[in-house]
Amino acid sequence: MNEVSERYSQIIESEQAMVAWASQFSSLISAPCQIHLMGNLGAGKTTLVRGILAGLAYSGLVQSPTYTLIEPYETKLGTVYHMDLYRLGSGEELEYLGIRDIDGEKAICLIEWPEKGQGYLPPFDLEIHLEVQRHKRLLGMSSVSSKGSQMIQRLNQAGLQSND
């Protein structure tokens, strides 16, 4: 049975606003959780991840994972995996990156360019779209699991302002 998809959207005014929004949003995340991040080069995907990690009390560097493809971070919710699949030729390559070694029961995964890993990624909860609108960003979110739907419902209740 398909879950009823919940939606949320928000205009983000600046990089600082993106970090602040993501940091607040992180309080709704619990393990396990799979979030897909979509958006073009420079849309702010890694900035959003940086905000989430800051919200989860990770204080170290959050470097771009474009070179290493996958970066693990130890946070108060356990290991958060930040992945960038931009360079994958096919989803099959995920097998070579040790994606099976990630414990799906516990892990939080934030995945950039998930479309490049299609067919090889585990089921996910939320999809976040970042659209470049001149100097601002339109953040759109939709759920694809009941967990994801609950997160969006709580997001709306928590008063993280939505334009819907």
Could you tell me which residues come within 8 angstroms of residue 18 by beta carbon, excluding any fewer than 6 positions away?
Answer: 12, 44, 47, 48, 51, 137, 139
Helix H or strand E segment including 83: strand 78-84
47 binds another protein (CB under 8 A): yes
Q: 59 or 157, CB closer to another protein?
A: 59
Q: What are phi and psi of 11, to 5 degrees?
A: -85, 130
- Binding to another protein, residues 76-135 (CB under 8 A): 86-90, 92-93, 96-98, 132, 134-135
In contact, 134 and 144? CB cutoff 8 Å: no
Nearer to another protein, 94 or 107 (CB): 94
Site string for another protein, 17-46 (x = CB under 8 A): -----------------------xxx-x-x
| Selected range binding another protein among 25-33, 61-69, 103-111, 151-159, rule: CB under 8 A | 61-69
Query: Minimum Å distance from CB 49 to another protein?
Result: 10
Measured from the Cβ of residue 62, the count of other Cβ atoms closer than 10 Å reads 18
Which of 134, 91, 143 is closest to 116 using CA atoms?
Answer: 91
Among 5, 30, 63, 118, binds another protein (CB under 8 A): 63
In degrees to the nearest 10, what's the CA dihedral of 24, 125, 132, 69? 100
Which residues form the interface with another protein (CB under 8 A)?
15, 40-42, 44, 46-47, 50, 61-64, 66-69, 86-90, 92-93, 96-98, 132, 134-135
